[in-house]
Amino acid sequence: MPIAIKMPALSPTMEEGTLAKWLVKEGDTVSSGDIMAEIETDKATMEFEAVDEGTIVSIEVPEGTEGVKVGAVIAQLAGEDEDASAPAPAPKEEAKAAPAPSPSPAPTPTAAPAPAPAPAHAPKGDRIIASPLAKRIAADKGIDLSGVTGSGPRGRIVKADVEGAQPGAATPAPAAAATAPAAGAATPATVPDFGIPYEATKLNNVRKTIARRLTEAKQTIPHIYLTVDVRLDALLKLRGELNKALEPQGVKLSVNDLLIKALAKALLQVPKCNVSFAGDELRSYSRADVSVAVAAPSGLITPIVVDAGTKSVSAIATEMKELAGKAREGKLQPHEYQGGTASLSNLGMFGIKQFEAVINPPQGMILAVGAGEKRPYVVDDALAVATVMSATGSFDHRAIDGADGAELMQAFKTLVENPLGLVA
């Protein structure tokens, strides 16, 4: 009996995706780990690997199809020792995804109870039904497959079943529940056009996710905003000196790279702001992972500089250049944009003087940075002209008090105005 290949959940927030491109065709033979398709998720375009070995019997969803629900059957695979010409039975639990909407919407994977997975053992004998990839992972991790429940067709144990299992333990519940729609997702409203000529562009998955998450953030998080003016002259001078020293290495620091470092160090100095609100608990982080807003063609995305507080500014510059490039190409992997303990958004390059950014949940704060510009400024009790930047911190008032937020902003200002502390 052919194995149903289903639309995977490639990120925790993914509910549906676009099957951008098939890299295999009917009749092709695939092995575990082969790239089968490119799928556009709510964050990026990602490659979909084969889990089982066999022959592609049929492709159920053509490339370019949008709105394919997680769990929908997208192809059929004849497994090992199976007849690739045998017709595949019609799936009972999931509707086949198609470009045109059906009269009655198909249920999402969380809308109705799923049937209990079949036992891992075959009905006869002691043979355990598992994909070759799952067997290799189990062998490497020392996992006894007899205690693992398979979530694949006919109880087949697949990669996802063994990745999170402990040696000798049963596999945890499938992660499909993570794709449940988040609270606060708004139902699209009908907007009158008032007779004004317009052109409608259908939202991609990234833009839909941005809309949902920002709506959720503003509706559920009480924001408090704190602004400081920061003198940049010393930072700009140090940047010029460092770039001369780093030129042989092919590294060029931007002001943003130094600001990432300053925010990370400030978070470590004021740990009460390196937190997130999690219902009935407050999570305090011992590492400062800074998410940096990058404008990509599909929408805003925030790749993460992990442990930015302890990295050198040259390492941050190199990492940000790579991450920003991947973000603009839609090639970021989930671990490169999921997480972070705080965010930085810089619109200074557009001449924006000051703005207030929306918190990126579940983080507790985001720093909005404006342009550095020549302004009248008091230096040593005398009026002078200095390069000054306005920075505004948005704080989750459930987790961070105003006084603690003010302490963080002061620490950030001090680090930028005395930048040798960024390279010490």
d(CA 402, CA 222): 12
For the record, the structure tokens of 311 come out as 């990295």
In terms of residues, how long is the chain? 424
> What residues pair up with 228 in beta bridges, in sequence order?
391
Burial class (CB in 10 A: 0-12, 13-18, 19+), 333: middle
Residue 270's nearest CA partner among 132, 63, 111, 414 is 414
* Residue 244: how many other CB atoms lie within 10 Å: 9
What type of residue sits at position 336? E
Phi and psi dihedrals of 160, rounded to 5? Answer: -65, -25
Q: Which residues are catalytic?
A: 397
Considering all CA atoms of the chain, what is the largest pairwise distance in Å, rounded to the nearest integer? Answer: 90
Residue 369's nearest CA partner among 343, 350, 341, 348 is 348
The answer to whether the beta carbons of residues 48 and 10 sit under 8 Å apart is yes
d(CA 74, CA 20): 12
**How many helical (H) and strand (E) elements, i.e. helices and strands, does the chain have?**
8, 19
d(CA 304, CA 320): 8
For the record, the structure tokens of 19 come out as 């099957």
The three-class DSSP label of residue 296 is strand
d(CA 3, CA 86): 11
d(CA 309, CA 2): 51
Residues 6+ apart with CB under 8 A from 6: 70, 71, 72, 73, 74, 94
> What residues pair up with 227 in beta bridges, in sequence order?
392
Task: Give yes or no for a cis peptide into 362 (omega within 30° of 0).
Answer: yes
